[in-house]
Amino acid sequence: MGLRPHIDYYYDLTGMRAYVLVDVPFYDDVINIIDYLKINDIECTGSGASKYPARSGKKYAWFIRVEDKFTGEKPPSGRIHPLLQRFDTGESLNLKLQQSQDFYRNLEILAQAQPKAEAHLAKHETELENIRQKNEQLITKEATTSLALEELEKRYKQLDEERQKLTLDSRNKGELANYVSEEHDKLNRESEVIKQKNVSLITERDELIQKLMDYKESKTRQLSSIVDDGKSSERDMFQLLLPNVKLLQDSAELMFERVDTQPVIKRIRQIVFGKQNGDVVRGASEWREMRFSTGQDDSGRIYYRIMGNDMYEILVSWKENQEKDIKYLKNR
């Protein structure tokens, strides 16, 4: 038996995102509905316990945020209603859901981890490029040293030939022999030093090549681990970028599950980084108030105050909760 509109479920697409609100006893039933929608090319980008009534006034137990699998747009009512009215929790559907459940969940995990993996990959490619450049510099230095050694060998041969010629002149034999011998010894010492430096450079180059290979293998394993374990979320990113913001009550759930996140974060950034001042909250003078768009109207509210060390306390709520929210703020 299918779900009955406005009794078992309510489809709300009046805001920036579309929501299916359902009345079923267990969250496992919600999972079955999510998997059923996925089979029919409807992606579910969030779900959980519903804390607010539908536009009809009825309070439903759970919410599911949905969008078209291929376009990312809100599915029209004419597509959602027939699906939910045909929804069946029988054994045949459960068998299909079990076969596809692991595939979709793994696909979502990989999609969430991809941006982080790409960022890490870009960073490590830069590091690898630096190592490659250093390796090329060592190779160039080694080549230069080899050329210097060849020049010394040529000079050594020239001096040796001169020594042989000069020894034929008996008048300068003693003096020239000493001179050539000293030069010969000096060149031998310089040649030995350069040979040692050349060996050292070759050893350093080989060690660097080995480190490069070890580094590439290590980073490949790290990137693999990042993709397997990638579970980053909008909440984690928000806390990373705004560590001096404390969200009160169920503000985080409302921001990331019930409304379009971007307008809310834009307002919070204006408060924290732009130092924009809102209106003083009547009855709670140390708090200030700013509005944000829900996609349908400007009924969203942000209440905030500045604490010590540039810390901010922020409450995200609706206009209709204003009286209750002000009582809460006065008592903090």
103 within a domain of the structure (yes/no): no
Cα–Cα distance for residue pair 210/232, rounded to 1 Å: 34
Residues 192-246: tens digit of each pLDDT: 888 888 788 778 877 776 776 666 556 545 544 443 343 347 788 888 888 999 9
Residues 138 and 222 occupy one common structural domain = yes
The predicted pLDDT at position 293 comes to 87
Task: Find the CATH number of the domain harbouring 276.
Answer: 3.30.2310
Average pLDDT, the chain: 83
Based on the fold, state whether residues 185 and 256 are members of the same structural domain: no
213 and 257: one domain?
Answer: no
Q: Rounded mean pLDDT of 21-43?
A: 94
Q: Is the pLDDT of residue 153 over 80?
A: yes
Last residue of a domain, one of 210, 229, 248: 229
Question: Token digits for 82?
Answer: 């027939």
Distance CA 88, CA 32 (A): 9
Q: Range of 71's domain?
A: 9-89
Amino acid at 226: I
Distance CA 305, CA 272 (A): 10
Looking at the domain assignment, is residue 108 inside a domain?
no
Per-residue pLDDT reduced to its tens digit, 204-213: 877 776 776 6
- ∠ CA 315-10-58, rounded to 5°: 65
Residue pLDDT, tens place only, 306-331: 988 889 999 999 999 999 999 999 99
**Residue where one domain finishes, among candidates 229, 257, 291:** 229
Distance CA 31, CA 64 (A): 10
Q: Is residue 109 part of a domain?
A: no
In a domain, 309, yes or no: yes
- Report how many domains make up the chain: 3
**Residue 154: inside a domain:** yes
Question: For residue 105, is it within any domain?
Answer: no
Q: Per-residue pLDDT averaged across 115-126, rounded? A: 81
Same domain? For 221 and 252 the reply is no
User: Is residue 161 located within the same domain as residue 219?
Assistant: yes
Same domain, 70 and 124: no
When comparing pLDDT for 58 and 98, which is higher?
Answer: 58
